[in-house]
Amino acid sequence: MKVKFQGKEINIRRIGILTGGGDCAGHNAVIVGLLRRISQANLTLPADEKMELVGLLEGWKSLTRDPDKEMDRIVKPLALLDIEETFTVAGTILKSSRTNLFSKENIEKKLPEKAMANLKKLNIDCLAVLGGDDTLGAAGKLGQQYIFPMFGAPKTMDNDVYGTEMTYGFESAVEEAVHFIENIRTTAESHNRCFVVELLGRSAGWVALWAGIAGGAEVTLLPEENLNLDNVVKQVEHAISKKQHCIVVVSEGVRLFDTRYPEAVNKRHKEMLDAVKADPKYALVKARDEMPKKKDSFGNEQLGGIGEYIFAILEKHTKGFEYRYQNCGHAIRGGVAHVMDRILGLRYGDAIFQFMKDGKFGVYPGLEADKIVARNLLEVKGGRFVPQDHQLFQMRNAVDYY
């Protein structure tokens, strides 16, 4: 298909597509949405303008491999009738990785140059990159540095990418988390227990917020709030006195200590945690606390386990009640793609093709008032946090109502 790029006419015949970062529902829907439009366009395009979509395996890692020796680990042919039904499934048929082309180490290895050289070897005329702000940011840099036609699509179950009111992957994660909470509640009610349920959500607490409210959690703890565990203890004790059971939802990005907390709160939290660590019953909590913190290739700290701290502190500092800890982990991002993510993914794939047709490159689709808008890949970033004046932020704790 002939289009305008950088003021010149180019003929896009072979389009590459990859998925980067964590998997989530909606990836496959974007692929199908784009492939539908390509297949439709091919019905009327002349032979020398017909297009194909080629999957690149394991995200950016595919472009660091040697096409002369590892073609089967790089390319996956994509035909609409072969993959059309995959839009209902979570995960990614192209597989993924957390490869950072622009890490200091990889820049020294000249991996951005290698990636571009491989795109040329593979005869890729244009690249669509599906991922969060890290993956899309790399696409923006690569496209700008090498003047290459690039597109993106904003995914993340965290729902924290700027430029869109919703990312695909979010709604399915919330639905699965709500089912988890509802299932836990039947046991909590049956045995008069308090369950601490940890949900994924790095620095933005959207998943925990929506799932906590929709699942009827008595207490929901978010990364955006100024945590005070003495207040949490009171909330839990109040819920137990009224209902004889309690659900506490904790976003994995919640922190016991933070520079934004008052000094007295950080000191109190240390006292509470030290009491836990001094008790042999909580040896695993102590071991976790003393482990070095790992980071991924983008410098993001590997999270997980804050719910275990909250569970241990609650159990240690309240009496006469039974507690359990559950970590949903990656289960909530897998399985089926729920309706919103199927539709949103298909819309984003459709939009990428329309941007291409209109000669709008270096962009990704965002949702604004239910309309698709073009956002600049060079401006993508994460950190779309839950505002403390948001209506749902004020509604998040069911215990506040009794």
Q: How far apart (Å, rounded) are the C-alpha atoms in residues 118 and 14? A: 14
Q: How far apart (Å, rounded) are the C-alpha atoms in residues 144 and 10? A: 17
For the record, the structure tokens of 137 come out as 């940011």
For the record, the structure tokens of 343 come out as 């539709």
* Structural contact between residues 31 and 55, judged by C-beta atoms closer than 8 angstroms: yes
Question: What 3-state class would DSSP assign to 7?
Answer: coil
Q: How far apart (Å, rounded) are the C-alpha atoms in residues 113 and 106? A: 10
| HEC-encoded secondary structure of 337-379 | CCHHHHHHHHHHHHHHHHHHHHCCCCEEEEEECCEEEEEEHHH
The CA distances from residue 182 to 116, 129, 188, 349, in Å, are 48, 36, 10, 33
Active-site option among 158, 160, 341, 350: 158
For the record, the structure tokens of 190 come out as 């049956």
Nearest to 356 by CA among 51, 119, 132, 112: 51
Active site residue 158: yes
Instruction: Give the up-direction half-sphere exposure of residue 117: CA atoms within 13 A in the CB hemisphere.
Output: 10
Q: How far apart (Å, rounded) are the C-alpha atoms in residues 110 and 102? A: 9
Q: How far apart (Å, rounded) are the C-alpha atoms in residues 76 and 66? A: 15
Helices (H), 192-250: 206-214, 229-243
CA dihedral 123, 127, 130, 133 (to 10 degrees): 130
CA 70 to chain centre: 29
The CA distances from residue 143 to 5, 116, 315, 380, in Å, are 12, 9, 52, 13
Whole-angstrom Cα Rg for the chain: 23
The CA distances from residue 151 to 156, 235, 352, 353, 360, in Å, are 17, 47, 7, 9, 9
For the record, the structure tokens of 169 come out as 């992957």
Q: State how beta strands 126-131 and 14-19 pair.
A: parallel
Indicate which residues carry an active-site annotation.
158
